[in-house]
Structure 1
Amino acid sequence: MSTLKEVLRQKIEEHRPRTVRLLKEYGDVSLGEVTIAQAIGGARGIKCLVTDISYLDPYEGIRFRGKTIPETFEALPKVPGSDYPYVEGFWYMLLTGEVPTMEQTLEVVEDWKKRSTLPQYVKDVINALPEDSHPMVMFSSGILAMQRESVFAANYKAGKFNKMTCWEDMFEDANNLMAKLAPLGAYIYNKKYRNNEQIDPDPNLDMGGNFAHMIGQCDEYKDVARMYFILHSDHESGNVSAHTTHLVASALSDCYYAYSAGINGLAGPLHGLANEEVLRWTQNFMEKLGGEVPTKEQLEQALWDTLNSGQVIPGYGHAVLRKTDPRYTSQREYCLKTEGLKDYPLFKLVSMIFEVAPKVLQEHGKAKNPWPNVDAQSGVIQWYYGVTQYDFYTVLFG
């Protein structure tokens, strides 16, 4: 048994009595009232989920297992020669709540390599789809196609379901799926945007590094992938995609059904497509300004013109946050320390909007949160490295 699975087993056994006691002694405690507006408005603000993985503080931003984003990046074992952690080590932390050692991290790295081969039938499914299919359709279809390999579903069908041990089947399915997501995403990217020129994985690389390698990217982009996958991993489990996976899995659907459903929710314009829309707006905004980085005075007037015309400033505001999204800050810091990127005109415009927009939005008075969210930055980094296919950005999120 792997170290991760054994540690998780201990955590689950320790946690169960707490849950039993909570239900027995406090099961009738009310968590608050629900208004008609909340019911009609998609359950916004209703306390109806239990999660230990992350917590979204309005003023600190996301905490993963109690750690802020800077604390998370600092604590996790780093890929040699990189400032960024292994995604596999982050997976260990999300599941257990413990920061893994380098040895424990590398055990997950090696385990995922063994599980990462993308079956030929998955490629056949993707190849059978119309050429103009959205990459998220391909991504969701590829995930769903692998359901035939579900350990959870097979054992349930065989009459081996046990509610005390079924987490082990879900654990196997989840690791099998996570290990194949990067190869699946890379296969789709190469098929749609690189004339189907597929690149075999490098057995010496981690998940993030291998994704960059398999889509023909430079070494710098390996850190972009590691950073991006961690920053977009979870956001209190209550957003559309995360909530959908919980809901579908509650019917004892296996993780292939559940994750595919979550990916479908992620594809919506009000969720995962937001980063694409922000980048389009920023590029169009720059074009209206003559294609040059404006002065702060010119930018301020342009932002006022945008608001006065009834439009919004995409990438600014958040349903919960009341400060700059730390996921935005992490990406901004990456840009500022990366030669070439820090002087990239599109980034300079995004950076100037960050300096000017909050003041304008505060004076405008209608935005509850005048600060940037994660989407205000992420598309610019992708564009700089040549990942200029808007449609693919949500696959990166997934």
Structure 2
Amino acid sequence: MQQPGHKIAILIESLGKGGAERSAGLLSKIFDELGHKVYLVTITDVVEYSYSGQLVNLGLLKNKNNDAFNKLKRFNHFAAFLKREQIDFVLDFRFRKNYFKEWLLANYVYPKVKLIYMVRSYRLDYYFPSANEKTKKLFAKAYTINCVSRGIMERIQTDFDLKNVSFIKNPVDFDHIEALAAKATNNKEQYIVAAGRMSVDVKQFDKLIETYAKSDLPQKGIALKLLGDGKLMADYKKLAAALNIQEWVHFEGFQENPFPYFKNALFTVLCSKFEGSPRVLLESLACGTPVVAMDCPTGPRELIIHEKNGLLLPKNDFNALKTALNDFIKNNELRNACAANAKMSIQNHSLEEVGKAWQKLLN
């Protein structure tokens, strides 16, 4: 006899423009399929990605000033919601930099729920106020601290000496991606693609543009398409113009459906300073497109099998990246072989497999 489902609240900043946000939407679908009652709780009023379950939009309560009184109002609204709906589990995707704020939440909002802290980046300072005994004691009370890569899990265990740490892979909805990837685009030329936010210099798009300019690709008529937006885009455009390659570097902006770009690319490039488990690599591979990525803390080495589904390069080695761009373009046989292996290489990220792992963790 199947056990009755849990009541699960997923707390996330928004449902738009990011890998964590897309993953939160996918998890809501997984939990719904498993028979749990799901609530998506957004802190801001940004809802772009699809989800399952009931939306609780705290952003609708946010005023222009976002003053202390308004924050307290949303704090109390969230606490009342958890109590009223008798929530069993909360998956907390937020950044957690303020110890006092986290102490208040743990003791006055979360005391009767099983709390799962989500950690999605190697930058632990985004998710833990500091590496001291107070923080350790606070986070040790959680049901678990869940990570999207084994490397992050191992670092938390080492840096914080915490035992309640778990690892579950990022989910990939292959059927959904295949359907969206089939949509028509105006991409007629040959190109490579990279994607990510341009609000902060984590993806190192400036160095990618410089490396692309030094490679053989512009002379071969192979464009570089960049998906994403943010305040640094203007600087990147100026750099492309200064290098006289503005004709070949195409800024496509944020794409709600990036999958046709991945599907039709020769390959996808990643050269981040750090990651968690980069969705851009997973989504490219799910489209059958191989990847060229520099290793970084963490993620690429857990997803890429060198010369099987792409090329894995040394950390922050842009000379190696230039060589790889040239070589992967020339070697059609290797590139096609990697493309043929792409989807199968990440089957353990399927909704079914990730769902099994979550069901085991929740029970």
TM more than 0.5: no
Greater helix content: 1
TM-score range, shorter chain: under 0.3
Comparing both chains, which one has the higher relative contact order based on Cα–Cα distances under 8 Å and sequence gaps of 6 or more? Answer: 1
Q: Which has the higher strand share?
A: 2
